[in-house]
Amino acid sequence: MSDQITHFVIDATLYTLLIFSVLSWTLIFFKIWQFMSNNRQNSAFSDVFWQVKDLEQAKKLPETIFKGTQAQLAFEGLHWLDEYGRLHDKNFKYSGNPQELLQHTLEKQLQHEQHTLEGGLTLLASIGSTAPFVGLFGTVLGIMHAMHDITESGSTSLDVVAGPIGDALVATAIGIAVAVPAVLAYNFFLRRVKLQRQQLEQFVAHFLLVALPSSQQNK
C-alpha cells in the first residue's frame, strides 16, 4: 500500500510540473501577444490623435481608434473634460484646480492600465520560484522509494543503484526546466511593463499640457 501511495505522489508531482509548464508557456505566449498588440495599437492611435487640430476634433474621433493603453488614457481624459465642462459649477466632485483633478483621473487610469499589463506576472513568478522545489520533492520521494527497493534486493552494486536514483533525479531536472523559462519571461515582461509605464507617464504629461491651457488651470 505504501508503494502505491509513493508512486501516486511521485506521479502527482510530475503532473503538477506538467500543469505548471502548460500554464507558464500559455502565459508567455499570451503576454507576447498582449504587448505586441498594445504597441501596435498605441502607435496607430498616437499617429491619429496628435494630428487633430484641437480637443473638439479629438472628441469626434471614431471609437474604433481608441484601442490600447494610451487610447484608454485619452478616452478617460476626454470624458473627464466633457463632464467638467458641464458640471464644474454644479458638482462638488469637480470643484478645485482642474489640472490637478484631471491629473488625478489620468493617474488612476494609468494605474488600471499598468495592472492590466501586469496580469499573469505573479503566476509566472510563483511558478518560477516553486517549480524547482516541487521537482525536488518528487526527487526525494523517488530516492526514498529507490533506497527501499535496493534494500529489499540486498544488492548495493552501481548497476542496481544508478538506475533508480537516476530516475528519481528526473523530477528535479523537470522542475528546473519548468522554472527557467518562467523566471526569464517574468523578468523580461516586468521590464516591458516599466517601459510601458514610462510611455504612459509621458502621454499623461503631454495630454495635460494641451488639454488645459494655462488660462484655465486656476479657475
Domain map (residue ranges) of the chain: 2-54+69-141+172-211
pLDDT computed for residue 57 by the predictor: 84
Q: Which residues contact 150 (CB under 8 A, 6 or more apart)?
A: 156, 160, 161, 164
Whole-number Å distance between alpha carbons of 88 and 81: 10
Contact 80, 105 (CB under 8 A): yes
Question: Position of cell 522554472?
Answer: 179
Whole-number Å distance between alpha carbons of 51 and 23: 42
Decide: residue 107, CB within 10 A, 0-12 exposed, 13-18 middle, 19+ buried: middle
**Which residues does the chain have with pLDDT short of 70?**
1-3, 6, 88-89, 149-150, 153-164, 213-219
pLDDT computed for residue 159 by the predictor: 59
Whole-number Å distance between alpha carbons of 65 and 104: 24
The CA–CA distances, whole Å, from 111 to 39, 72, 104, 117, 188 equal: 18, 12, 11, 10, 20
Pull the grid cell for residue 160. 542496481
pLDDT computed for residue 8 by the predictor: 79
Rg of the chain taking only CA atoms, in angstroms: 28
| Residue-averaged pLDDT of the chain | 84
Question: Position of cell 490623435?
Answer: 49
Q: Which helix (H) or strand (E) holds 134?
A: helix 121-153
Contact 100, 74 (CB under 8 A): no
